[in-house]
Chain A
Amino acid sequence: MVTKTRLTRRGLLQATLAGGAALALRPTRAWAATGLLNVSYDPTRELYQDIDRSFSRFWAEGHGGAPVQIRTSHGGSGAQARSVLEGAPADIVTLGLAYDIDILAQNGLLATNWQTRLPHNSTPFTSTIVFLVRKGNPKNIHDWPDLIRDGVQVITPNPKTSGGARWNYLAAWGWALNQPGGSADSARAYLKKLFTHVPVLDTGARGATNSFVQRGLGDVLLAWEDEALLATREIGPDQFDIVVPPVTILAEPPVAVVDRNAQAHGTTEIAQAYVQYLFSDAGQKIGAKHYFRPVTPAILAENRDRFPAVHTFDIASLGGWTKVQKEHFADGGIFDSIYTK
């Protein structure tokens, strides 16, 4: 009985393999000829569409007009890192937080000192976490304690899969920790309460924005500043207000060339040019245009009306990503203990 079953399944496997193999040649060849793949996180769709076009022109000018096709895929930062780890052929990763790239480095896809290879900790644009509320702020939300008032529904994605959600969570955690008399226990109690106000957990920041903006769920969206600015200025003008809490986190989404993949594809040179382009004045201006805070001081200063000064703390003040990831988001970590009621 067992042998029969196994035989048939093996037969199925072989046959499907044969079918797949016939097709495998084509994409591989097409890939080598044209491709540069940037695996990115969720709210960067508009940003990298613009960057890709601009860089493609820039590269063509410097290299005899040779066309270069850049493709960018988007999803929750953690899920995207997982895909690259499982073999998605990314030449470049531009993810929501350093830990997701650290994982790739630990598995030998790029050098473990990747974050020192580019300026500003390999972070071309920073952002921060703000509150997006309905026009006129009907629930009167101004600070972190307002989020756990009765009748307030909070939209934030799942920190297990989304980088933005981890920044949201840590912004709340850092605020609670730094209150007078704050401790890990009081911060945990605050977050446990906060997540009872969360009706849905989307897998990525863009899904959460869609839940809030297009499906009308919730009273407040915890969001990347860039995502919130995009929503207020372009998606639904006059429907939303941005509330910047008195204290929030400095979000640093980094970029890196995936050495092993770029070498295999023969794209190392162009991949490096691409990530360096992000730090150039042209790249920084495109970032500012799409609501990401430029790291070049002069270009940030030019855009002061768009990016007000905010009072922030950074991830290092919470002990760095490795520690934070292990304590909060690993299986059996603090997030699990507060979310599984």
Chain B
Amino acid sequence: MARFIFASAVYLLIGLIVILPVVLVFVMAFSHGLATALATFADPDALSAIRLTVIMTVLTVAINTVFGVMAAWTLSRFRFPGRGALIVLIELPLSVSPVVGGLVWLLVFGTQGWWGAALERWGYPVMFAPPGILLATVFVTFPYVTRTLMPVMIHNGREGEDAAVLLGAGLWQILWHVTLPGARLALLSGVLLTTARAMGEFGAVSVVSGHIPGLTETIPLHIETLYNGYQTVAAFTMAGLLAIMAMLVVTARTLIERRAGARGLIA
């Protein structure tokens, strides 16, 4: 009986907090019919926002996957002074407000900051341009790959790697043939988590973007601009698109984790 009550409560909460808002997004998007909703994508600014979001997400995932793997490997295999501090630092973006993440880059690369004026003179503006958006997105999604990989790498232990060393394998061979295959599913899960977070990031990107329609607006920023411009249907259609993209990623992640769980690969 208790189990039944708890389960109902959980379903009710999830229904109210998670499912209802998503349903409402689609209701609003299609409130004036399918044609009106689809007309959103005829706007070049909307297409630009979608393109920018995809490019930023792909680059962010690439960068954070490389660094996440390196960090997780280093932290799980070696004991060195400052290891604890390093783990805390890597997880810092999880606890710092994304707005702060954006402001920090502004301090470094803004024209009032350390390097901004010089970079601008050379014709490489970082802030209020895609490179700044990339920096901000990389910052907020930095911990995910490391965090999903590290426990699995620790769980897998280093016997396999030690054996590979004895057989004469080099560093890259060990990484490619021993370490990563053992943590493949965890890696994929971390990558997908990074993807979902990178697509949806608003706060940090908002600070460094300048909100220039057609140039530096990602999907979440474009949604805000549309909403503030009283283009409600277009705003919710873009929100619906973002929701679909996120749901695809989360579904992929769940399927992968289920496989991993079945094989006992995730501790």
A138 lies within 8 A of chain B by Cβ = no
- The answer to whether the Cβ of B162 comes within 8 Å of any Cβ in the partner chain is no
B76-128: which have CB < 8 Å to A? 80-82, 85-86, 89, 106, 109-113, 116, 120, 123-128
Query: Would you call B125 and A89 a contact (CB within 8 A)?
Result: yes
Q: Pick from A20, A28, A30, A210 the residue with the most CB of B within 10 Å.
A: A20
Q: Which residues of B contact A235 (CB under 8 A)?
A: 230
Interface hits, A55-78 → B, CB 8 Å: 69, 71-75
Contact of A88 among B82, B128, B230 (CB under 8 A): B128
- Taking CB atoms, residues of chain A closer than 8 Å to B126 are 20, 24
Query: Is the pair A1, B67 in contact by a Cβ cutoff of 8 Å?
Result: no
Which of A4, A37, A88 has the largest number of chain B CB atoms within 10 A?
A88
Least CB separation from A231: chain B residue: B230
Distance in angstroms between the alpha carbons of A54 and B248 in the assembled complex: 42
Confirm or deny: A341 has a beta carbon within 8 angstroms of a beta carbon on chain B. no
In angstroms, Cα B212 to Cα A27, docked, is 12
Q: Does chain B have a CB within 8 A of A150?
A: no
A71 touching B228, Cβ below 8 Å: no
- Asked if B130 and A27 make an inter-chain contact with CB atoms under 8 angstroms apart, the answer reads yes
Of listed A1, A9, A46, residue having the most chain B CB within 10 A: A1
B225: Cβ under 8 A from any A Cβ: yes
Is the pair B134, A16 in contact by a Cβ cutoff of 8 Å? yes
Complex: A226 Cα to B196 Cα, angstroms: 40
Kindly state the separation between the CA atoms of A15 and B139 in the bound complex, as whole angstroms: 12
Contact partners of A74 in chain B: CB under 8 A:
211, 225, 228
Jot down 8 A-B pairs with beta carbons below 8 A, ordered by A. Answer: A8-B89, A28-B123, A37-B212, A72-B213, A86-B106, A86-B112, A89-B210, A207-B228
Chain A: minimal CB distance from B225 (Å): 7
Interface string of A1-36 (1 = CB under 8 A from B): 110110011001001100111011011101100010
Is the C-beta of B229 less than 8 angstroms from some C-beta in chain A?
A: yes
Contacts of B116 in A (CB 8 A): 86-87
- Nearest CB to that of A261 among chain B residues? B120
Are A20's CB and B135's CB within 8 A? yes
Query: Is the CB–CB distance between B228 and A210 below 8 Å?
Result: yes
A85 touches B (CB below 8 Å):
yes
Interchain CA distance A39-B86 in the complex, whole Å:
41
Within A228-274, the residues touching B (CB, 8 Å) are 234-235
Flag if A21 contacts B125 (CB, 8 Å).
no
With A1-B82, A1-B85, A8-B86 known to touch, is A83 a contact of B210 (CB < 8 Å)? yes
In the complex the two chains form, what is the Cα distance from A89 to B86 in whole Å? Answer: 37
Q: Are A23 and B127 in contact, with the CB atoms below 8 A?
A: no
Does the CB pair A23–B59 fall under 8 Å? yes
Q: Does B27 contact A (CB under 8 A)?
A: no
Q: Contact between B127 and A5 (Cβ–Cβ < 8 Å)?
A: no
Which of chain B's residues have a CB closer than 8 A to the CB of A72?
213
CB-defined contacts of B125 to chain A, threshold 8 Å: 24, 28, 87, 89
Q: How far is the CB of B110 from chain A (nearest CB, A)?
A: 4
B215 with A71: CB separation less than 8 A = yes
Residue of B82, B106, B110 near A5 (CB, 8 A) is: B82
Per-residue A-contact encoding for B209-249, CB less than 8 Å = 1, 0 else: 01111110000000001011110000000000000000000
User: In the complex, what residue of chain A is closest to B126 when comparing beta carbons?
Assistant: A20
Residue B131 CB within 8 A of the other chain = yes
Beyond A28-B125, A210-B228, is A85–B86 a contact (Cβ under 8 Å)? no
Asked if A12 and B86 sit within 8 Å, CB to CB, the answer is no
- Residue A45 lies at the interface, judged by CB distance under 8 Å to chain B: yes
Contact present for B120 and A87 (CB under 8 Å): yes
With an 8 A cutoff between CB atoms, is A206 at the interface?
A: yes
Beta-carbon contact of B123 and A27 below 8 Å = no
Asked if B214 and A86 make an inter-chain contact with CB atoms under 8 angstroms apart, the answer reads: no
Q: Answer whether A16 and B135 are a contact pair too, CB < 8 Å, given A37-B212, A73-B211.
A: yes
Give Cα A42–Cα B229 distance, bound, in whole angstroms.
Answer: 10
Q: Which of A8, A73, A207 has the most chain B CB within a 10 Å cutoff? A: A73
The reply to whether the CB of B138 lies closer than 8 angstroms to some CB of chain A is yes
Inter-chain contacts of A2 with B (CB < 8 A): 82
**Which residues between 54 and 69 of chain B lie within 8 Å of chain A, taking CB atoms?**
55, 59, 62-63, 66-67
> Is residue B180 contacting chain A, with contact meaning CB distance below 8 A?
no
11 more A-B residue pairs beyond the given contacts A1-B81, A16-B135, A88-B128, with a C-beta to C-beta distance below 8 A: A5-B82, A15-B63, A19-B62, A28-B125, A71-B215, A73-B212, A73-B213, A74-B211, A75-B211, A86-B112, A107-B112
Q: Give complex CA distance A87, B117 in Å.
A: 8
Partner of A20, one of B71, B134, B227: B134
Q: Bits for A162-190, please: 1 = Cβ < 8 Å to B, else 0.
A: 00000000000000000000000000000
Nearest Cβ on chain B to A155's Cβ, whole angstroms = 15
Nearest A-chain residue to B108, judged by Cβ:
A13
Is the beta-carbon distance between A206 and B134 smaller than 8 angstroms?
no
Shortest distance between the CB of A152 and any CB in chain B (Å): 26
Min CB distance, A95 to chain B, in Å? 14
Contact B212–A71 (Cβ < 8 Å): yes
Which residue from chain A places its CB closest to the CB of B117 in the assembled complex? A87
Which residues of A have CB within 8 Å of B111?
85-87
Measured CB to CB, the nearest residue on chain A to B125 is A87
Given contacts A4-B86, A27-B130, contact A19 B59 (CB under 8 A): yes
CB proximity of B182 to chain A, nearest CB, Å: 24
